[in-house]
Amino acid sequence: MLTGPGLSLASWAGRQKSTPWAIMLFIGYWLMFAAEFSMIRFHLGEDGKWVASTTDVPEAWMGLVVFAVAALSLVGAIGYMYSLTRESKQTLWLWGNHELTGNDVVHIVAWMHVFQTIVLVVYGLVLEDTLFAVGTVAGTLESAVFQLFLLILIPLWFRGRLGEIGVRRPVRIKQMLVLLLLLFLLIALLLDVVVTNPIADWFGLSLSSEREQQIEKEIVTAKDTDMLAAVASLVVIGIMVPIAEEILFRGVIQTYLVRRIGAVAGIILSSLWFALLHIDVALFAPLFVIGLGLGFVRHRYQSIWGAVVLHAVNNMMGVLYYFN
């Protein structure tokens, strides 16, 4: 426990004026998360299976709920950032030597919600469309702006203690590489046969995925635009996105949950959150299973880098598939 002259970290954290604001934003994050799922609709496709799609026009009551949450979140964001600015004189809110705590997780999620609220306001009220065309370098970066934000936020928040969230050299590297190869082969050859298709058939779900269709459109358009745009899509989807998602889910979230509730429950819950974040009903099951594999690698080898490599290779293979 980090201590100062007459002040322990626990007592200091309890006196943080930003924490109540962070908790408010943490709750807002989950309310908005629930609102996103409430906008999913199911209809029967031509093959008789249920197709999940997101409605463009929610019910009036849901629109009011989203507006209210967004408005309160903007107020909360202002109060939160003002409090953090005042606390910055102590510097501990931004970095320090203390161990990862639930307070860190709440603050990270609060920042995520601040960012997503700003994006919602900008793209919902200010802009009529995206800033940059789909398939361009700028458009590819714009589509991954949330992951770009995470790559700035998390290293900054955990400056000086990145090792706490697994940003360090893995143990037993050779063994890890063998396991990564095995897991990749299992994902490539057996995941659809053992998990994706059987579960979809069980629930009568179509594997048509809006998210995958949008990603495919972006990749194919980038490929048809020019070589630089194609390389940008490979780098962003194949490298940047995996690093951002792994440093969040296997780095911050799983590390905390494993310490609080144990390895099995921590890996399961962080994998569940990982799968839910994609808002993809059709591919929820394979995303969850992949999350379990990534979580196991991170936990066993005490580093996020094995999970990053597996995630990156899997994403790159997906991008290269659409390049054909």
- Cα dihedral 37→27→272→170 (10° resolution): 140
CA angle 176, 181, 187 (to 5 degrees): 120
Stretch (H or E) spanning 51: strand 50-54
Name 3's bridge partners.
8
Q: Is the pLDDT of residue 13 over 80?
A: no
Q: What's the confidence (pLDDT) of residue 10?
A: 39
Tokens of 123: 């793209």
Q: Is the pLDDT of residue 6 over 90?
A: no
Q: What's the confidence (pLDDT) of residue 97?
A: 53
The per-residue pLDDT of the chain, averaged, comes to 87
**Boundaries of every domain in the chain:** 9-129, 143-324
- pLDDT band at residue 90 under the 50/70/90 scheme: low
> What number of other Cβ atoms are within 10 A of residue 302's Cβ?
14
**Closest-CA residue to 143 (of 60, 11, 223, 240):** 240
What's the mean pLDDT in 157-164? 91
At what angle are helices 284-300 and 263-277 packed, to 10 degrees? Answer: 140
Residue type, 150: L
> What number of other Cβ atoms are within 10 A of residue 87's Cβ?
18
Read off the pLDDT of residues 210-246 as tens digits, 9 standing for 90 and up: 888 888 888 888 888 888 988 999 999 999 999 999 9
Output the pTM of the full model.
0.89
- % of the chain surpassing 90 pLDDT: 57
> What number of other Cβ atoms are within 10 A of residue 225's Cβ?
19
What's the mean pLDDT in 6-17? 45
Rg (CA), the chain: 21
Q: Assess contact for 314 and 180: CB atoms under 8 A.
A: no
- pLDDT band at residue 301 under the 50/70/90 scheme: very high
